[in-house]
């Protein structure tokens, strides 16, 4: 076999030097793949699977080419699955409920809900540095801007709790108190529309 699977990693696919045939934003595809892998052992994986397998195959073809792609596909999936599960803050094995983590930051709400027995099925965070930390903590790259319809379409139809730590500066007594007149304050309405989408 020409390829060396010991070096395959989600981080490698995220490397900007890697030329991938992606028409959609790179992080969205990586988010789909990592969300699929994080839910590999439960029903939510069915929601992510069609896109995730397509994107994962694109990544492998870009790395290995058609000659060795079929030889490495399943082994690569198992290797990357181990990578995303071997994290500092894993999901509880016998979780009791599922949740969505919006405005996820580096994962403070997620840790709290996991400690209560929750399983995250979707995360969203637009800040690139926070996304990197979140991935290091949980093995999952959050989707980007939750105000876009493209991101909202990736929210699975079934979950128990919606968690959203949207910016509070618009409402804080320490700030200008612009409320809904402040752009940050209007992010609340994006959260409110999610129940109508799923």
If asked whether residues 60 and 111 sit together in one domain, one would say no
Please give the positions annotated as active site. Answer: 168
DSSP letters for the chain: ----GGG--HHHHH-TTS----SS-HHHHHHHHHHHHHTTTSTHHHHHHHHHHHHHHHHHHHHHHHHHHHHHHHHHHHHHHHHHHSSSSPPPTT--EEEEEES-TTSHHHHHHHHTTEEEEEEB---HHHHHHHHHHHS-PPBS-TTSHHHHTTS-S--SEEEE----TTT-TTS---GGGSGGGGHHHHHHTHHHH-
Instruction: Say if 173 falls within a structural domain.
Output: yes
Instruction: Say if 91 falls within a structural domain.
Output: no
If asked whether residues 72 and 30 sit together in one domain, one would say yes
Q: What local confidence, expressed as pLDDT, does residue 56 receive? A: 85
Q: What local confidence, expressed as pLDDT, does residue 91 receive? A: 93
If asked whether residues 119 and 190 sit together in one domain, one would say yes
Domain boundary among 51, 85, 119: 85
Domain boundary among 85, 116, 146: 85
Instruction: Say if 57 falls within a structural domain.
Output: yes
If asked whether residues 53 and 131 sit together in one domain, one would say no
Q: For the chain, how many structural domains are there in total?
A: 2
User: pLDDT tens, 68-111?
Assistant: 667 777 788 888 888 888 899 999 989 999 999 999 999 999 99
Give the pTM. Answer: 0.80
- Higher-confidence residue of 50 and 179: namely 50
If asked whether residues 187 and 109 sit together in one domain, one would say yes
User: pLDDT tens, 146-156?
Assistant: 888 889 999 99
Residue 187 belongs to what domain range?
97-197
């Amino acid at each position: 076999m020409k390829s060396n699977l010991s070096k395959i990693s989600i981080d490698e696919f995220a490397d900007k030097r890697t030329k991938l045939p992606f028409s959609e934003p790179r992080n969205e595809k990586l988010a789909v793949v990592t969300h699929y892998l994080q839910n590999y052992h439960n029903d939510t994986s069915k929601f992510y699977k069609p896109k995730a397998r397509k994107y994962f195959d694109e990544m492998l073809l870009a790395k290995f080419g058609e000659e060795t792609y079929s030889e490495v596909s399943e082994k690569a999936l198992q290797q990357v699955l181990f990578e995303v599960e071997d994290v500092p803050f894993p999901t509880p094995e016998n979780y009791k409920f599922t949740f969505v983590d919006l405005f996820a930051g580096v994962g403070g709400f997620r840790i709290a809900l996991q400690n209560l027995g929750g399983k995250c099925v979707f995360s969203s965070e637009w800040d690139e540095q926070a996304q990197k930390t979140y991935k290091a903590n949980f093995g999952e790259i959050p989707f980007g801007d939750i105000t876009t319809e493209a991101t909202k379409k990736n929210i699975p139809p079934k979950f128990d709790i919606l968690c959203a730590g949207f910016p509070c500066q618009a409402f804080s007594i320490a700030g200008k108190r612009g409320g809904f007149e402040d752009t940050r304050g209007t992010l609340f309405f994006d959260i409110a529309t999610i129940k109508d989408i799923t």
